[in-house]
Amino acid sequence: MAPETTPPAPSAATLEPTKTRPEATPTESFVIGAAPDDTSIRPFQFHASDEDLADLRRRIAATRWPERELVADQSQGVQLATMQKMAQFWATDYDWRRCEAKLNALPNFLTEIDGLDIHFIHVRSRHENALPVIVTHGWPGSVTEQLKIIGPLTDPTAYGGTAADAFDVVVPSMPGYGFSGKPATPGWGPERIARAWATLMTRLGYTRYVAHGGDWGALITQLMAVQAPPGLIGIHTNMPGALPAEIQAALPSHTPPPGLTPDELYAFERVDYFYTHGLAYALEMAARPQTLYGIADSPIGLAAWFCDHDTKSYELKARVFDGVTEGLTRDDILDNITLAWLTTTGISGARLYWENKLPFFNPMGITLPVAVSAFPDELFQCPQSWAERAFPNLIHYNRLPKGGHFAAWEQPQAITDELRAGFRSLR
């Protein structure tokens, strides 16, 4: 994620929709007399063409590789050996049809909100009184990151829970990501997405629901709580906006304020490291997303860009391609990248950074009930003391022993348990 940014003047540049994704429509909310949305909910499935899959493999095989990095670690970026292992598996052993079948086995839909087609997965629980939850992904992400938690949340008795733990689950694709439409005019920032999600939940008939998210999903979920639409009763996040003012003030000097507890000092050091060493990708997308033509033209360029998010998640992915089994699989990683490749959403997704004007980690004055799960390999592991200050109605806090930034993807059992526990008091 990126710190507070000021976007440049709006650009008229857009990308044409491709044949492998739903037709994008211009956002029309700023146009006087615009036609009303088509509020119907249409079933959706995705099938990549054999030609597109063959072209993907051809492009991977034709990659023109640079020389190896000049250091023994990842301080110069995503390492050549990791990318070549990924390319070998992607071109020869990876099967997109497996992921496609898994996606199409779920109820997928499109509906128009604010002039744009929004894709979402919607799985209702078979249990009565299930609590509806809307789950939002981040960057570089898609709905594939949430697939592992849908079954345990909607069918808890099959996964070690009780019927009282049941959720109805809604997982939308953010505008410009995956199967949702690509905005054709500026204005689709996180605040607008938060409002669209409230519209979606109302359209689905939910009058009482909760929300969860990480990465961009954390900011959008917290903005939903700020906007407090009718029906939203609480939120859960694994990347809380909870940096106290004195921490924010101390970060430019890289010197922690006095009196921090060990947990607070560790959190300060982590967020300071991220701001100092981990923001190159976010700053480029916030300033010049259209310049990233390479990630629209080269699958290896896209894959390397997606891998270079934060140190801990990159190290996890590198270990996976070294044959270590933990959290993610090689297929998990490539499902996410391949979906972005087939839908040509590398740049349309990047523009969300350009649209954003908000800091990610600062408190937002949320008064709704909030549940927080703090993972050790997150950009910072939020101390309970900071969560209590940021969220006066903190209903759950837990410090997890394992997991990182993409928690639902990496540690689905932990996130499932956290959502069950975090929202139990709101049922």
Is residue 248 in a domain?
A: no
Domain count, the chain: 1
Active-site residue list: 215, 353, 405
Q: What is the CATH number of the domain that holds 174?
A: 3.40.50.1820
In this structure, is residue 318 part of a structural domain?
A: yes
DSSP-assigned letter for residue 253 = G
Q: How far apart are CA 380 and CA 213, in angstroms?
A: 16
Give the predicted TM-score (pTM) of the model: 0.91
The verdict on residue 146 lying in a domain is: yes
Nearest to 283 by CA among 5, 9, 74, 13: 5
402 vs 215: CA distance, rounded Å: 17
Q: Of 281, 280, 291, 286, which Cα lies nearest the Cα of 351?
A: 286
304 belongs to a structural domain? yes
Q: Is residue 34 part of a domain?
A: no
15 within domain boundaries: no
Q: What does the pLDDT profile of the chain (427 residues) look like in tens digits?
A: 544 333 333 332 222 223 233 333 333 333 334 679 999 999 999 999 999 999 999 999 999 999 999 999 999 999 999 999 999 999 999 999 999 999 999 999 999 999 999 999 999 999 999 999 999 999 999 999 999 999 999 999 999 899 999 999 999 999 999 999 999 999 999 999 999 999 999 999 999 999 999 999 999 999 999 999 999 999 999 999 999 999 999 999 999 999 999 999 999 999 999 999 999 999 999 999 999 999 999 999 999 999 999 999 999 999 999 999 889 999 999 999 999 999 999 999 999 999 999 998 999 999 999 999 999 999 999 999 999 999 999 999 999 999 999 999 999 999 999 999 999 999 9
Q: What domain range includes position 142?
A: 42-59+73-242+278-426
Is 27 domain-assigned? no
Domain-embedded: residue 273: no
